[in-house]
Structure 1
C-alpha cells in the first residue's frame, strides 16, 4: 500500500498545455518559419521514404541542436560529407511537442540536415543554439 502511494506521488501530473513553458533557447518552437534556423520552427514534407533533407548555414561556432516533433533519425553533415558525430541526444522538455533534440558542435559553414525513419509525411524542426 505504501509503495503504491509512493509510486502515485512520483507520477508527474498530466500536462494542461503544451509548449507554454519552454526554456529560452526553445521559445521559438511555436512560431512558424520558412527555413531551418533559430528563433522559429519549420514544417517540412517528407518523401515517400519518410525522410527529408534541408540545409542550414552556421555563422558562429558553437553547440547547436536539431529539435524534432517526432521520433526519427537526425544526421548533420558538412556539405556532401559523411554525417558528423553528435555530442548528445535527449527528449524534448516535458509538456512540449518536441520529441527529440540531437546536439552537434558546429563550425561556421553550410550543413546538410537529414531526417529519416519518420512516422509521418511531415516533420517540424528547429535549430537550437546552446
Structure 2
C-alpha cells in the first residue's frame, strides 16, 4: 500500500505555474476572446442545468478541437443537424487549466457547441486548429 501511495505521488505533476508552456495550437488559451475561435478563449456561463451553448464558424476544412476548462460533456453539431462523432478526445497538457479537448473533422460552416454536465457556473472554451 505504501508503494501505491508513492507511485500516485510521483504520477501527479507538481506544477508551480499553470498555462506557461502551452503548445503552439493552444497558445491563445490565456488570451480572452469575444467569441469561440482559435485566437483566444471565451468564458461562458452555464445555466442551472449545468449546460451552456454557443456557435462557432469554421472557415477552412480540417481537424479542430474544443478545449474546455472544466469537466463536462462536449457535443458539436452542424447548425441544423445531429451531433458529430469525435475523432479524438483527451485531457489538456499537464500544468494547464485545460481539462479536456475533443477533436472533430470539420468542413466550412457554422456549428453549435453544447457543453453539458458542468458542475461549475462558468467555463472557458477555445477552438483549437490541428
Structure 2 length-normalised TM? 0.91
Q: Distance in 1 between matches of 2:52 and 2:37?
A: 16
The structure having more radius of gyration, on CA atoms, is 1
Q: Distance in 2 between matches of 1:31 and 1:107?
A: 26
Question: Does residue 79 of structure 1 match 2:79?
Answer: yes
- In structure 2, relative to structure 1, the CA distance for the partners of 1:13 and 1:59 (3 Å cut) is closer
Q: Deviations over 1:80-121 (max 9, x none)?
A: 211000001110000000000000000000000000100111
Structure 1 length-normalised TM? 0.91
- In structure 2, relative to structure 1, the CA distance for the partners of 1:115 and 1:9 (3 Å cut) is closer
Number of equivalenced pairs = 127
Map residues 26-45 of structure 1 onto 2, 5 A cutoff: 26-45=26-45
Question: Does residue 96 of structure 1 match 2:117?
Answer: no
Q: Distance in 2 between matches of 1:121 and 1:36?
A: 18
- In structure 2, relative to structure 1, the CA distance for the partners of 1:106 and 1:17 (3 Å cut) is same
Gaps of 5+ in 1: none
- Which 4+ stretches in 1 moved above 3 angstroms? 6-13
Gaps of 5+ in 2: none
Q: Distance in 2 between matches of 1:120 and 1:75?
A: 17
Question: Residue 18 of structure 1 aligns with which residue?
Answer: 18
